Chain A
Amino acid sequence: MPTLLDLLKSVSFLAAMPAVAGLLITAGILVVSRDWRLNVIALTVQYFFVVLLLTRQIRLEVAAVKGLIGWLICMVFYLTERRASALEQPAEPEDAAPQRWRRWMLSARSSFHLLAVILIAVAAYTAALRIPLPETEVPRDITLACYLMAGLGVLLIGISEAPMQVGLGLLTFLSGFDLFYVALEPSLAVAGLLGAVSFLIALAAAYLRTAQAVPAAGEEGAS
């Protein structure tokens, strides 16, 4: 049976511009979408692409551990959202089928967010060309990935005050910084502490999300 390291080696051909494109798409989905299922999947895939890019800068085993922390965070988000949406949502009415399609249509808000994603992507591309990170440590495509993730992370933080959106934004921002910083400081202590930071941020966001759901459920119960 192939190990995680074997799997990562077999897809290492993606660890360049395809992974950067993947990061743009997944971070873009996090900004545009408000469907928690889609967001959790996007975050999971985002950590996969981050790990792929990390394998070019640090040892495969360390990158794999960072990936595992990321996927554990996705699991925390999945379980929290599942519980929170069960607390919040009333029973689905029978004529809800047409409404399901509505969630896939692009609302005015989503269109605006998509436009913002495109603007950030253009700004990140320009920044990668004009203000390159030290090329001896960080390759050009990873520089672009860093700027993209930092920019989209800040955008996510700025457009919402919902705990999960802010949590996703903070984690995206930190992943972008991590891509850059592992090249400067590849020590295991820093990698471990940054992993602990990410995990604590995820727990804090999940705790606040639960706090958001519980009063809502209480109010419904009271009415």
Chain B
Amino acid sequence: MLTFIFKRLGLALLVALTVSFISFSLLFLSGDPAAALAGETASGEDVEALRRLYGFDRPMLVQYAEWLFSALRGDFGESYYFKLPVASLIAERLQVTMTLGLCGILFALVTAVPLGVIAAIRPNSLIDRLALFLSVAGQAMPSFWFGLILIVVFAIQLGWLPPSGAATWRHFIMPTIVLGYYAMPAIMRLTRAGMLDVLNSDFIRTARAKGAGETRVLFKHALRNAIIPVVSLAAVQMGFMLGGSIVVESVFALHGAGYLAWESIARNDLPTVQALILVFSMFYIVFTFLADVLNAWLDPRMRSA
């Protein structure tokens, strides 16, 4: 188990490095960071001076290496726009995004898992078809549209919820739903498929032959086995939540890391963008790693391997 963890960690690190390198080179394409820094009114000489000052005239690999070593020490440079250290900027914004992400995945699990279990108990019934239809419909709905509809209905027409901002817990309800619903279909389908599969297993027949009631068979015997891949799927989906947060945070004007990403890109704030790409990918890597570990831990067959 330990070698497994170390191998995965090493791989994860390599992936993170590659991602940061690719994104650095992509941003390097953006033309002239010196011009962006100097602003529109600067003269050619000023831009040139800035270029030499910040070292933008050096070869890309050198610049990347310098960025990387600083990053390893936690220094991601200074935001062109905010004139603040990028690291603290992101750290502050992350709170909102992490809260949103966690609520989103919890919402998805709490709705999708029971639905999947019920659909599996009564395959091809009305509830099963409804659940499947909802999952297909859910995957087809553009998240920004869904968010706007919710705002129109619940904030404007009904006035139950606030349309934007992040002041109270009520502000998080709609964003949570919009962020979470996209993960629901996959979780529901996996739960359903897993349960159907497990319910056909021999050991379920054994449990019934022992005289166990249906509830016990369903939860203690079947779900315990079927849920294993679902847990790791949820962890992976959590990793994707950050990407989805960009749209959700813009629609609901929540000042989290996703919103910061959109702002920084629109403003050509390269250090922030570069750092955010790394942070987002690190989250994905961490959560998929967690997914693997959870998977191995929940399944006794893999634990002792």
Does A pair with B? no
Residues of B at the A interface (CB closer than 8 Å) are: none
Residues of A at the B interface (CB closer than 8 Å) are: none
